[in-house]
Structure 1
Amino acid sequence: MSIDVKGHRQIVLDTETTGLDPASGHKIIEIGCVEVINRKLTGNHYHQYINPQREVDAGAIEVHGITNEMLADKPVFSQIRDEFLAFIEGGELVIHNAPFDVGFIDHELRQLNPAHQTIALSNSIVDSLVLARGKHPGQKNNLDALCKRYGVDNSQRDLHGALLDAEILADVYLLMTGGQTALSLGSSGNSGDEGSDGAGEIRRLSPERAPLPVLRATDHELECHQKKLADIDKASGGNCLWR
């Protein structure tokens, strides 16, 4: 899939797996990606459940609730590889605890092609967990803790889910790095929705909603604003940037 969109493109990504270690034969069973362009959610996303062709560990099922029965009729990774790689192509990946997800993705790709290089060579990667630890040292920095810290609604997150977690992480990341999350560039459609069963669908604002009112500053407010700028300019020795 080729996406011709100008601007800084980021893909917030999350996976769910059969267990903790790909070296022990564990596999990816769900991938969720949310697109962000120029720090705005576009509504475009990729979501896919995957048949791992092995049993899901009981401990993993307790975390994400994805059972072996749910995955029995889903495609295997080789069937979704090209579509997934096309979606993330050229994007900067934002992942919470990136070594975990990247390790699983690289393992899956190398099983299909032993010469395949790590996705870190084709996509730059931002580890939001490392970023959070730098901003909040000594505090809990898992996704639930960050949601509470930044006021992000995670009430639907009774269990982990790749698309829902990617959507939540996108909100957290933009707030954590000083951006807004509410406005959208609009959607260019969904990809990889076979097998998604509507889980964790992105909630869009209704096109029927009333337009937001525009409140213009009064003459008095403009006068006070200019006076404040003059005070700042004087105090900074003529270096007020807003004049």
Structure 2
Amino acid sequence: MPRALILDTETTGLDPATGDRVLEVAAIEVVNLMPTGRHFHRLINPQRDVPPEATKVHGFTAEMLADKPLFAAILPELLDFLGDDPVIAHNAPFDFNFLDHEFDRCGAPRIPRSRMVDTLEMAKKRFPGLPNSLDALCRRFAIDLSARTTHNALLDVQLLGQVYLELMGGKQPGLELATVLGGSRSSLASVEGPVQRTPRPIVPTPEELERHAAFVAKLKEPVWATLEGA
């Protein structure tokens, strides 16, 4: 999976079939499991009220979103960022279901389910019977949660990027490590060809050779004798 997008949405509720809408979309780009620094993040006017119980989760109110663009306005840029690559999300069917309804309103083709990667399902297979929320996984993998006071989509995809890396086997030092410095991607390690090492031969002393010869002489048909002169 050379390139993939880690995505999260925040919504006005739990069911788009009853009129709930997307009010925030965030995605980050990863290449070979590592974030590149490219990201997409938009707040959206959901064109409806935001119930208090939803505001408690993500912190947004209808008043805060009244001057934000409609989903149709951000869709072209979102589609361009997602491209044709896999889309990774935690409890991905939830996000895909909301995006399906938003895409339908805009007359745009839905993202194929074949592109969906669900980290919740991955976690359930790895940790059956254990809590596998994003918070629980961050604690399990010792990922810093101190900034997560509400369910902010951009922060959540950044945390999920770290969780996804751990679910895929964890950090592998020396294999295309990358860091984000001021929004740019720079290589930390790039090795071409075999690693060059300085030979450090071990040369026995005359005394060690003498003791070894005495030891071998005590053995019956020692295999070392067949290697002399080889």
Q: Tell me, in whole angstroms, the C-alpha distance in 2 between the residues paired with 1:120 and 1:180.
A: 30
Q: Corresponding residue for 1:101?
A: 95
> Is the contact made by 1:44 and 1:187 (CA closer than 8 Å) also made in structure 2?
no
1:7-46 deviations in whole A, cap 9, x for unaligned? Answer: 7111000000011110111100000101001111101000
Counterpart residue type for residue 98 of structure 1: A
Q: Corresponding residue for 1:31?
A: 25
Q: Corresponding residue for 1:3?
A: none
Q: Tell me, in whole angstroms, the C-alpha distance in 2 between the residues paired with 1:218 and 1:156.
A: 47
**Aligned with 1:128 (options 109, 119, 129):** 119
**Aligned with 2:5 (options 3, 8, 11):** 11
Q: What pairs up with 1:86-165 in 2 under 5 angstroms?
A: 86-113=80-107, 116-120=108-112, 124-165=115-156
TM-score normalised by structure 2 residue count: 0.75
Report the alpha carbon displacement of residue 185 of structure 1 after superposing the two structures with TM: 6.4
1:30-66 deviations in whole A, cap 9, x for unaligned? Answer: 0010100111110100000000110011111000101
SS in 1 for 2:144: coil
Q: Tell me, in whole angstroms, the C-alpha distance in 2 between the residues paired with 1:141 and 1:166.
A: 16
> Is the contact made by 1:144 and 1:154 (CA closer than 8 Å) also made in structure 2?
yes
Name the count of aligned residue pairs: 192
Relative to structure 2, which stretch is displaced further, 65-74 or 96-105?
Answer: 65-74
SS in 2 for 1:160: coil
Q: What pairs up with 1:208-219 in 2 under 5 angstroms?
A: none
In the alignment, is residue 72 of structure 1 matched against residue 72 of structure 2? Answer: no
Q: Corresponding residue for 2:212?
A: none
Q: What pairs up with 1:37-76 in 2 under 5 angstroms?
A: 37-76=31-70
User: Which is bigger in relative contact order (C-alpha 8 A, separation at least 6)?
Assistant: 1
Report the alpha carbon displacement of residue 118 of structure 1 after superposing the two structures with TM: 2.7
The structure with more radius of gyration: 2
- Segments of structure 1 that go 5 or more residues without pairing to the other structure are 1-6, 190-203, 224-243
Runs of 4+ residues deviating >4 angstroms? 185-189, 216-220
- Segments of structure 2 that go 5 or more residues without pairing to the other structure are 190-195, 203-230
Q: Corresponding residue for 2:162?
A: 171
RMSD: 2.8
